Structure 1
Amino acid sequence: MTTSPLGVRRGAQTPRVGRWPAYATSAAPEVIELAASAGLILDPWQQYVLTHGLGEQADGRWAATKVSVWVPRQNGKGGIIEALELAWLFLLGEKLILHSAHEYKTAQEAFLRIKGLCEQTPDLDRRVNRYWQANGEQGIELTRAAGGARLRFIARSKGSGRGFSGDKNVLDEAQELTAQHRAATLPTLSARPNPQEWFFGTPPDDPAAWVYGLRADGEAGAERLAHFDWGADLDLDDPADRRRAATDRDLWYACNPALGVRITEETVEDEAKPSGLGEAFPVERLGVWLPRAAAGPSVLEIGVWQALTDPDSRREGPVAFAVDVTPSRDSACIGVYGLRADGLGHVEIVDRRPGTDWLVGRLAELRQRWDPVAIGVDAKGPAGSLLVDLEKKGICRPEDPDRPKRGDLAIPTASEVAASCGQFADAVTQGTLRHIGQDELTTAITGAKTRPLGDAWAWGRRISTADISPLVVATTARWAYETRAHLVTTDYDPLANIY
């Protein structure tokens, strides 16, 4: 963050992530000067992006053929776009500039803003041959004497932009881009001698969105790509990170370069409340990316899962329980895992209810009755908040990790969470477990998505399309059983699978 000459606090003028290829010179000073002549005075952070995004090699070609800019809403990314388009039209001699947005109204608003800048600047307006708006498109065309450059505004579709050989592309609302959109726009640059694309957006709602690949390339420092991201690096599955997002003012300023200028601290305070943006606050105001959907759920095909249904399945001998809570904390779930007489695994949902106030008492009851080999809890997830209350009930971590006792907690590390998910998926694929066909598990598996976790993957609670707590407890209970059953006393009387 920075402080203005008047002592007013303002947001960070440099991004958390900034990557760009080396360059000899930059066209930014002239671009910034032209914008100022049209009354568009750029903030330092906007000039920073232009300086590094418009870097030129010694031969005059752009060092970056793609520029990726990610900043929360209302911070002023439109000012960068307008400065670029003014320069491309009036300064840099481009012939065709395509500006696309996800929605027509966004493209229209962008057209009206730059049209207004031109019209209020006589030296620019006199070089315009026409402004047009018809048939779902808007645009500006310069006179032949001024070079005849054209700037076209379009709403994206599978085919919009196809057939135009553009010199420059602006892709606003880039979080909504699909592979089909890219197929329509990317070939427009392929035959141009010095093309450049600029992507602007906020993190997407869809964890499988195309832009996750762009972000990965940007953070890896891919060649010919400049990448700027003001978003916070938070794990929204971690309660501590969610609390930090809602209360840490330093973080707010780090993520919003216009905070203290265009955005007030009071506005952000209101947005952080449950009655404001609520759970969407970290994504919308702090630019937090949801975990990317990763390969993995395809191994849990619903047909394979249903083929493992055995309504008469019963386990015999020791069991392990596990608990999970939904991210919204509106419900919770307890699951059990053990072995059947034939050696196959048996997984089952024991209890599932609204809220969380019933959980600790119910776990204590199950522990007293069944003397389980372990009770699994993913402490990094929402259920981690139960640990203090569980310990008050005598359900604790092992005093000696190498010699756990029955009924002790089994808390997986991050690598063990990933391993447990892969092992559960393998058990389903290989047919080494059975279930009784509970709707809760079927629904969870149908809607489950995964998130990257190190070099592996784990179930993604916040990005799945259903409540996956039944799947999480099934996975964790199996892991707890497999890691603890051989370490505790094995003498156990077989009992009916009644809870």
Structure 2
Amino acid sequence: MTLLSSERSAEQLPASRLPADDGRMYGWQEPPIQIAPPSVSTAGQEAIDLAAKAGLKLDPWQQHVLRVGMAEKADGSWAAFEVAVNVPRQNGKGGIIEARELWGLFVGGEELILHSAHEFKTAKNAFRRIERLIRGCPDLHKRVKQYRQTVGEEWIELHDGAMLRFIARSKGSGRGFSGHSNMLDEDMILGDAEMDALLPTMAAIEDPQIWYLGSAGIGAASVQLARLRRRALKAIEDGVPDPSLAYMEWSANPHVKECPKDCTAHDDPASDEAVLKSNPAVGYRLSLGKVANERATLSAEGYARERLGVGDYPSDEGDAWAVIGKDAWEALADGDSQPADPVAFAVDVTPERSNASICVAGHYGGGVHVEVVDNRPGTAWVPERLRELAERHGPRCVVIDPGSPAGALITDVTEALKVDPDEEVGEDEEPRLLVPIVQMKTRDVVQATGQFYDAVAAGRVSHLDQAPLSTALAGARKRELGEAWAWARRGVGVDITPLVGVTEARWGLFVEVEGPEEEVEPWAEFG
């Protein structure tokens, strides 16, 4: 077992954490928190060498992860059945995944490797990256029988039958696949249902291994990551290695309110040292200056989570699905559900403005279909996307809460939705819009939340079991407003915009809208 403590002095730190001869600063190449079972050798160097042959040059910290994660016992079996890597975004965890998968496919003799992510597009992008590496290396490419890429069917198969498959996680995905290794990307969104589907497939495999890779915990959705982290911290506290877990985490340990002014046990979140401690790619693929500049852009909470690796981890599984039960929500999933015209759209934005969602609601059967149309980083994309949707679907309204973070978009959305973008109107005139914009009041927000909650309880909501919406519901909390409540935005550790968006879109189906509604073409799939 290894523990690299943040309380060490600079003189005790490995040279890779100190300024280089040219004055450049490098991130910590070994993690502040690490445990690993005893081992006598490692296959990590084989993976590092193969990656280099395929044109993938790994940073020292990535090489360190592979050596630790692929450590072996005296009999040649894996020292760690489970390997977890917790590191902030954009540091290069994808390179670790690719190197491990290349080894398993071409050297390790693993008959089936399963790569999963919480969303299909993430898994698909991973397929494309490793396909390029293999195609670019003739010695590897000639061993490939086929690259299969259709909707939901991505895999690489060798002539000897070895296969690397890419899937999106769900409570059913992975069943029936007995993988020699499982690579679980984006593990901060990983719950019991997904683990129940994937982990038992490895029971009959000789010497299997499972890798978890992601960034800091985001609250209730990070059930499995929190469980792994608790095991690691307990092993460190007890001074006894976990017999099957290798855990490596790059994160800062910020000061708390109780810290004295001269506290040296915690990190100053505004310091460069906190950035270096939590971002091993600084000096290689990340610039210290650019990363530090994020402090001026992100909220304090967002910066701590996204850049310093300070996560929000549920203390136990009871923290998840605290408002609407998981079973109740999953029972309403309907893959055939689709909204009837006219629909209503709604927009919501996170408090730190790091993400935004556009959601839709429409009548379906005896209830209402709700769906996340788009959930993306930033907000600049929202107005133009709304115009595209308005022109295509002719909705009855677009709902925005002016008292929410989305309120700042009202002017830009209004401009984007003008029938004639070049039309000038008088000071007291309203522009002619493709679709009315309905601005909510506080009482509307409360009513919308209560109506959504009641509709779910009565089984009058249908959905497509989308990961962003399920994640938001898993982490949802109540915000008390007098004798009523709305969805809490702060302190939930998860992007709540998909939930707020569908709640307000559903409300928009029933609100009175000024002006006649035009006939529209039957509903078409979102593009």
Identify whether the pair has TM-score above 0.5, normalized to the shorter chain. yes
**Aligned counterpart, 1:228:** 248
Given the alignment of the two structures, is residue 268 of structure 1 paired with residue 291 of structure 2, yes or no? yes
Alignment partners' CA distance in 1, 2:149 and 2:290: 35
Given the alignment of the two structures, is residue 194 of structure 1 paired with residue 207 of structure 2, yes or no? yes
Aligned-CA RMSD value: 3.2
Instruction: State the AA in 2 paired with 1:194.
Output: D
Instruction: State the AA in 1 paired with 2:251.
Output: G
CA 1:214–1:4: 2 relative to 1, 3 Å: same
Instruction: State the AA in 2 paired with 1:172.
Output: D
Question: Do 1:95 and 1:149's aligned partners in 2 also have CA atoms closer than 8 Å?
Answer: yes
Instruction: State the AA in 2 paired with 1:290.
Output: D
Q: Within 5 Å, which residues of 2 pair with 1:35-74?
A: 35-74=51-90
Deviation per CA, 1:435-454: give whole Å up to 9, x if none: xxxx757568x9899xxxxx
Tell me, which stretches of 5 or more residues in structure 1 are unaligned?
A: 302-327, 329-353, 355-438, 450-460, 466-499
Q: Within 5 Å, which residues of 2 pair with 1:109-188?
A: 109-144=125-160, 148-188=161-201
CA 1:296–1:130: 2 relative to 1, 3 Å: closer
**Aligned counterpart, 2:305:** 283
Secondary structure at the counterpart of residue 14 of structure 1: coil
TM-score, normalised via structure 2 length:
0.55
The match for 1:252 among 264, 275, 278 is: 275
Alignment partners' CA distance in 1, 2:185 and 2:179: 16
Question: Do 1:68 and 1:218's aligned partners in 2 also have CA atoms closer than 8 Å?
Answer: no
Give, in angstroms, the shift of residue 191 of structure 1: 0.5
The match for 1:12 among 24, 28, 39 is: 28
Alignment partners' CA distance in 1, 2:154 and 2:27: 34
Alignment partners' CA distance in 1, 2:221 and 2:120: 24
Given the alignment of the two structures, is residue 214 of structure 1 paired with residue 228 of structure 2, yes or no? yes
Give, in angstroms, the shift of residue 70 of structure 1: 0.3
CA 1:214–1:167: 2 relative to 1, 3 Å: same
Alignment partners' CA distance in 2, 1:223 and 1:141: 33
Alignment partners' CA distance in 1, 2:211 and 2:313: 24
CA 1:297–1:31: 2 relative to 1, 3 Å: closer
Alignment partners' CA distance in 1, 2:482 and 2:255: 26
Secondary structure at the counterpart of residue 145 of structure 2: strand
Secondary structure at the counterpart of residue 290 of structure 1: coil
Instruction: State the AA in 2 paired with 1:193.
Output: E
Question: Do 2:255 and 2:267's aligned partners in 1 also have CA atoms closer than 8 Å?
Answer: no
Secondary structure at the counterpart of residue 114 of structure 2: strand
CA 1:441–1:227: 2 relative to 1, 3 Å: farther
Given the alignment of the two structures, is residue 292 of structure 1 paired with residue 321 of structure 2, yes or no? no
Question: Do 1:64 and 1:224's aligned partners in 2 also have CA atoms closer than 8 Å?
Answer: yes
Alignment partners' CA distance in 1, 2:493 and 2:81: 35
Instruction: State the AA in 2 paired with 1:229.
Output: E
Q: Within 5 Å, which residues of 2 pair with 1:392-411?
A: none
Question: Do 2:219 and 2:493's aligned partners in 1 also have CA atoms closer than 8 Å?
Answer: no
Give, in angstroms, the shift of residue 31 of structure 1: 1.3
Alignment partners' CA distance in 2, 1:41 and 1:82: 11
Deviation per CA, 1:138-180: give whole Å up to 9, x if none: 1110012xxx210001111111111101100000000000100
Give, in angstroms, the shift of residue 284 of structure 1: 0.5
Q: How many residues align?
A: 314
Secondary structure at the counterpart of residue 139 of structure 1: strand
Given the alignment of the two structures, is residue 30 of structure 1 paired with residue 46 of structure 2, yes or no? yes
Aligned-residue sequence identity (percent) comes to 43
Give, in angstroms, the shift of residue 235 of structure 1: 6.1
Larger radius of gyration: 1
Give, in angstroms, the shift of residue 276 of structure 1: 3.2
Given the alignment of the two structures, is residue 94 of structure 1 paired with residue 110 of structure 2, yes or no? yes
Give, in angstroms, the shift of residue 290 of structure 1: 2.0
Question: Do 2:123 and 2:167's aligned partners in 1 also have CA atoms closer than 8 Å?
Answer: yes
TM-score, normalised via structure 1 length:
0.58
